[in-house]
Amino acid sequence: MSDHKIEKIRVHRICIPARAIHSHGSGDVAGINVAIVEITTDSGITGWGEASPWPVFTGTSEGCAAALHVHLRPHLIGQDPVQVEKHMSMTDKVIVGHPEAKAALEMALLDITGQICGLSVCELVGGKMRDDMGMSFSIANPDFEADLNDIAAMWEDGVRIFKFKTGFAGHKFDLMRLEKMREIYGDKADIRIDYNQGLLAYDAVRCIRDLEAFRPTFVEQPVKMHEREALAHITQVIDTPIMADESVFDPKGALYGANIRIADIFSLKIMKSGGIRRALEVAAIARAAGIEVYGGCMFETGLAHAAGAHLMAAVPDLVLQCEFYMATYYAQDDILTDAFPVRNGRVIVPHGPGLGVKVDPDKLARYAVAEPLS
Ligand SMILES: [Mg+2]
């Protein structure tokens, strides 16, 4: 038991506009719509958490805010914040699904616990295996000329990993973009592909074989999330590694996925698994099955990126790096007091106790889309 008690929980809903629309096999996204939870203890410590949903993937920010405020809050007031597993087990008994709301809660509890004991979140969950990691940017602007300008600017910044979102504007458009990218940057660019469920299962193999000519590092989620056996078949017949994103959420999904060898890689996301510790359980299942992991994210501010960076810092092996680029290269602004640390194309794991980042209350107010719930 610690000497601290949860005294106050506030839930903010915000929207930060994007610099450009990003298109995907599952639709367009024009901004970052998230719920932020602020938990304060009777000892004056504040922990921050973020629920970053995507309506076509996991849920909505309205749903996350209601989950946190209406359903979870009454079970947390007066409780000891450091008993993280106890509270996370409670969440699964109180409300089904809503993994982003659960991730936000765990983030805030770990932030508080880290501040109490003077350890960073990655140290709390096992220790820091790396100080930084390569950062991928997603090429998803329907205006490819605009994307080429952005790629050139990011190349100057040291970014070398680019993930092409495909399957939203036709196969020919995808082939043209990949050809252009290899023409300009040759093999110095690490090119990945993400369909976001955009292919029809019956024709997916033929489409992916065409794209393999451009030597992608992996092809992510070509088919619908529920088409798990089709995804396993694609993994079996395609030479390029296949990644499961939408098809594998949590440890139970990872176990089923490993059993049918659904993919060669799992995208780890705290918003799918319901927190950092459940994502590490997914990583453990993947490791035991010889499946690689990757640091994925949703449409997030630097706060959730910080939690993702702590998760990926704690993973034993990391070959394929991460994609925590939103706060630096996608959103028009962020909610942190200091910029989320990205240098020379690499995400730096934040230093200091807890998450190692702080939220600016003025920014929360500026981007609010509703009155805070408390
Ligand atoms: Mg994806």
Note the pLDDT of residue 237: 98
Query: Rounded distance, CA 167 to CA 285, Å?
Result: 30
Report CA(246)–ligand 1 centroid distance (Å): 7
Report CA(366)–ligand 1 centroid distance (Å): 29
Report CA(351)–ligand 1 centroid distance (Å): 28
Report CA(79)–ligand 1 centroid distance (Å): 36
What string of DSSP letters covers 26-60?
TEEEEEEEEEEEEEEETTS-EEEEEE---TTTT--
Q: What is the mean pLDDT of the chain?
A: 96
Report CA(267)–ligand 1 centroid distance (Å): 7
Which residues place a Cβ less than 5 A from the ion ligand 1? 194, 220, 245
Of 45-49, 80-84, 123-127, 166-170, the one with minimum mean pLDDT is 166-170
Q: Does domain 123-348 have CATH number 3.20.20.120?
A: yes
Predicted confidence (pLDDT) at residue 36 exceeds the cutoff of 90: yes
Predicted confidence (pLDDT) at residue 56 exceeds the cutoff of 90: no
Edge-first strand order for the sheet with 219-220 is 136-139, 161-165, 190-194, 219-220, 242-244, 265-268, 292-295
Label residue 57 by pLDDT band (50, 70, 90): confident
Report CA(272)–ligand 1 centroid distance (Å): 11
Report CA(7)–ligand 1 centroid distance (Å): 37
Q: Tell me the domain boundaries of the chain.
A: 6-118+360-366, 123-348
Residue-wise pLDDT for 129-156, tens only, equals 999 999 999 999 889 999 999 999 999 9
Predicted confidence (pLDDT) at residue 21 exceeds the cutoff of 90: no
Report CA(76)–ligand 1 centroid distance (Å): 33
| Percent of the residues in the chain that have a pLDDT greater than 90, as a whole number | 94
Note the pLDDT of residue 85: 98
Report CA(45)–ligand 1 centroid distance (Å): 35
Note the pLDDT of residue 192: 98
Report pTM.
0.97
For the domain with range 6-118+360-366, which CATH number is right: 3.40.309.10, 3.40.50.300, 3.30.390.10, 3.40.50.12710? 3.30.390.10
Note the pLDDT of residue 29: 86
Report CA(25)–ligand 1 centroid distance (Å): 10
Report CA(57)–ligand 1 centroid distance (Å): 10
Note the pLDDT of residue 177: 96
Query: Rounded distance, CA 220 to CA 163, Å?
Result: 9
Please state the rounded mean pLDDT for residues 258-274: 98
From the list 52, 108, 63, the residue with the least C-alpha distance to 331 is 52
Report CA(9)–ligand 1 centroid distance (Å): 31
Report CA(315)–ligand 1 centroid distance (Å): 19
Predicted confidence (pLDDT) at residue 58 exceeds the cutoff of 90: no
Query: What are the tokens at 38?
Result: 């602020």
Query: Rounded distance, CA 11 to CA 371, Å?
Result: 9
Query: Rounded distance, CA 66 to CA 69, Å?
Result: 5
List of residues 6+ apart from 237 with CB closer than 8 A:
205
